[in-house]
Structure 1
Amino acid sequence: MLDNNSQEKEFWEKVRAEFLLDPQMTFFNTGTLGAMPRRVLERTVNHLRLTAEKIAEWDYYGPDWISGYQPWTEVREKAARLINCEVKELALTENATAGMNYLANGLELKAGDEVLGTDQEHPGGECGWKLAARRHGIIYHQLPLNKPIKSPEEVLETLLRAMGPKTRVIAIPHLITGSGAILPVREICAEARKRGIFTVIDGAQTVGHIKVDVRDLGCDAYYGSFHKWLCAPAGNGFLYLRKERAPEVWTTLASTQWDNQEDHGFRLSQRGTGNLSLLLGLDEALDFHFELGPERVYARIKQLGDYLRARLQEVPGIKIFTPLHPQMAAGITVYNIQGLTGNYLQDELWKRGRLRPRSMGEVYGVRQSTHIYNSLEEIDRTVEILKSLATGR
């Protein structure tokens, strides 16, 4: 559905109006933090204000003022529906890094056990395994992947060659934060399950961005963040554990429900006094996403990303690090121009057009995230500035 369809264009303009983004600036860094819709911000702030003004009304019988101790089944049900799991399989966490560390710390691994990952992990997706390697003597093997990855098959073949008798865990991203590559997780998990290998999938960049169906993927664990593409307040994440294997993961943060074997999601949601205002913001963000229609959101993000990658190929000296394979990319695109750096590109795009992608350093240029509050026209403006930079103008 292209923007030359007047109804479609009008729909996305109305969606953009739901956000408080300054119209004189263009935000292209959802891969770090999504912009909250007005209604999400208002629900969050209204509860913060209520807590500040009316805390004396709290009789301590109900759970209406803090999070961290109650099951919050209604919110978990919505999140579970989003990724297609049972509510008792889903824990609420602060972010993807927390969920990942619950797994690296909670799985019983011994010296010599192998965990397979890639050399393109986010620090939040790898450091828990590095800690376990130093502390317990496990082997954390990070397999090299191309950048850009050419096909799903090359990733699957790399993992298959590495799986061995000592492999206990495969821990990989669903969508690589540093390139935007979508990995063939379903096929990898199927091969791992044949071998009894526990699969851990990093979904920090996926929920609200691409379809996530943990049943279809066949993974044992999946963790992610809601503050990026779902546009919830920062401080909201999740951990999914397949019920058949959930008992294998020990509790990391222990409170009253630390040994709840009936609701593993509640057990792993324990973290002491939490900010209920943020959780209510998540609840509102989930409602907003479902009202827009998840499939429509994913299609729009994919359309914008594909359009950006197609137009980037008009820029002299461009190097695109995101796969051009149609199944392997959506709303994140990483690119550079020969002879330039990420910091330079980021700064020039801001100075010349008030466009804000994120620098990825000396080699990999910038990461441009295109979300539902972005437009084809904003991408066109980006490309025109890049053409000027590429030709020295």
Structure 2
Amino acid sequence: MFSRRTFLKAALASNMLGIPLVKGMKLFSRDSESMLKELKTPSSPFDEDYWKMVRKQFYIRGGVYLNTGTAGSVPMYVMNAVFEKMIKREQFFEGFGWDWKKLKKDVADFIGINTDELVFTRNTTEGMNFVANGLDLKPGDEILTTTHEHVGGLCMWELKAKRYGCIIKRISLPAPPKEPADLLNPFNDAISRKTKVISICHVTFTTGLLFPVKEFSRLCRDKGVILVVDGAHPPGMLNVNIHDLGCDFYATSTHKWLCAPKGTGLLFIKEDMADRLWTTIASGGWDDLSLKAERFNRVGTRNDQLIYGLWKAVEFQNAIGKDRIEKRIRQLNRYLRENLIKIKGLQLKTPMRDDMNSGACSFSIDGFTHQEIGKALKEKGKIYYRLVAEYGYNWIRLSTHIYNSFEEIDLALEILNDLVKSR
């Protein structure tokens, strides 16, 4: 008789050997070191054969995934590492089994900060809440933000305002703006002696607009205002150096463009701001200011295997090279935008200027609802996209990442052209 114990042993063995759990999908399909070695192959950022090889490192099947702005696909190299550590951890013999000091240094280096400024979070929302909850603000203090903030970068300020009597001022932005001054000048004009915080996105979720964070940092320093940046998108998409940006706080979701496991994120707390921030979660060392940002890592038991996976995602992208990744993403999105604007009645909401765009862009088409456009993309090409319905914008957002191709973009363009011609 085939007992339950025999069945479980067979199932575990099949998983470890790479036998499909689901038809067409394996967990341990390749040796991790060979994957990393292949990624380090020297090539031009525009070598299509190289990017076809990169695509094979991901599990994406059965559709065209143009929604990395919501969540990225975790590569096999990272999945292998996470599952290995999860299994070893549950054996209770291995402990953590990795060098935390090196992990923190590698992750901090990847985004251009010091290790004592690094906090591991679950996502951007959690990081932004740590900042808003921790700042001492009084009734009447002003927070300036925009009409393009994600709820994860806005609601914590709304809570702060309702609880402590702060005032939120939301500045309306054009879509698309023509130049960086269109973003900077309205904030400069809105700052008053009551303004304590400016909170902006580095890249907006609505349109993929790239904010001039350096210029905002200079403005905030000159005016004595704290700059908080929702950086959910850039790490893993752009070659980001947070110290170079000059902001005070920067929160990101590494499950997006960095393609780390879901439930991982990072928060940067500038060294001279650490003692101005109350901890949201109090545990051992919560009031020890010598710990700097480490105070915010004291949150109790968590799934550290996911953080290990974040480390491996950094290794994966470093093997390809951050510059090579950014050039590829921009190449694909530029091709997409240049062809979108050729479609009759299409209104591009993202700037064409490279210093103002990123790996995501949004659009509408005259005479069609966003639901109609989305339905055509999904039904005709199994294309995954993002509806930007927030604030009544009703746009479609498409994201291009290293696992996408020109052929996939051409399919989306063909469907959109056919949709317009159908009327």
**2:203 corresponds to which of 168, 171, 175:** 175
Aligned residue among 15, 22, 33 for 2:71: 33
Map 1:88-237 onto structure 2 (within 5 A): 88-237=116-265
Matched, 1:340 2:375: no
SS at match of 1:268: helix
2:47 corresponds to: 8
The aligned residue for residue 68 of structure 1 is none
Structure 1 alignment gaps of length 5 or more:
66-70
Deviation at 1:287, TM superposition (A): 0.3
Decide which structure has the larger Cα Rg and report it: 2
In the alignment, the residues of structure 2 paired with residue 241 and residue 320 of structure 1 have an alpha-carbon distance, to the nearest angstrom, of: 35
CA contact (8 A) 1:343 1:365 kept: no
Show the counterpart of 2:25.
none
Structure 2 segments unaligned to the other structure (5+ residues): 1-43
In structure 2, the residue matched to 1:359 is: 387
Q: Any residues of structure 2 matched to 1:279-358 within 5 Å, and which?
A: 279-358=307-386
* Residue 17, structure 1, aligned to residue 56, structure 2: yes
SS class of match (1:115): strand
Report the alpha carbon displacement of residue 47 of structure 1 after superposing the two structures with TM. Answer: 2.2
| Equivalent of residue 263 in structure 1, options 263, 268, 291 | 291
- Whether the aligned pair in 1 keeps the contact of 2:203 and 2:358 (CA below 8 Å) is no
The alignment partner of 1:216 has SS state of helix
The correspondence for 2:89, drawn from 51, 56, 65, is: 51
Deviation sequence 1:312-348 (CA, Å, 0-9, x none): 0121111111112221112101112112222222221
Matched with 2:29 is none
The residue identity in structure 2 corresponding to 1:205 is H
CA RMSD, Structure 1 to Structure 2 (Å): 1.7
User: Which residue of the other structure, out of 387, 398, 405, is the alignment partner of 1:375?
Assistant: 405
Superposition deviation, residue 247 in structure 1: 0.8
Quote the sequence identity (%). Answer: 38
Deviation of residue 139 (structure 1)?
0.8
Q: TM-score, normalised by structure 1?
A: 0.92
Deviation at 1:63, TM superposition (A): 4.5
Deviation of 1:277 after TM superposition, in Å, equals 1.8
Count of residue correspondences: 378
Deviation (angstroms), 1:390? 0.8
Instruction: For 1:187 and 1:193, locate their aligned partners in 2 and report how far apart those are by CA, in whole Å.
Output: 10
Residue type of the alignment partner of 1:378: E
1:141 Cα deviation from its structure 2 partner: 0.9
| 1:390 aligned partner | 420
- List per-residue Cα deviations over 1:242-283 (Å, max 9, x = no partner): 111211111111111312323322111122110122111111
Q: CA deviation at 1:7?
A: 7.4
Are 1:278 and 2:306 an aligned pair?
yes
Q: What displacement does 1:72 show?
A: 3.4
* Residues 114 and 140, structure 1, Cα contact 8 Å, conserved in 2: yes
Provide, for residues 106-144 of structure 1, a one-character-per-residue CA deviation record: whole Å limited to 9, x for no partner. Answer: 001111111111111000001010000000001111111
How high is the TM-score relative to the length of structure 2? 0.86
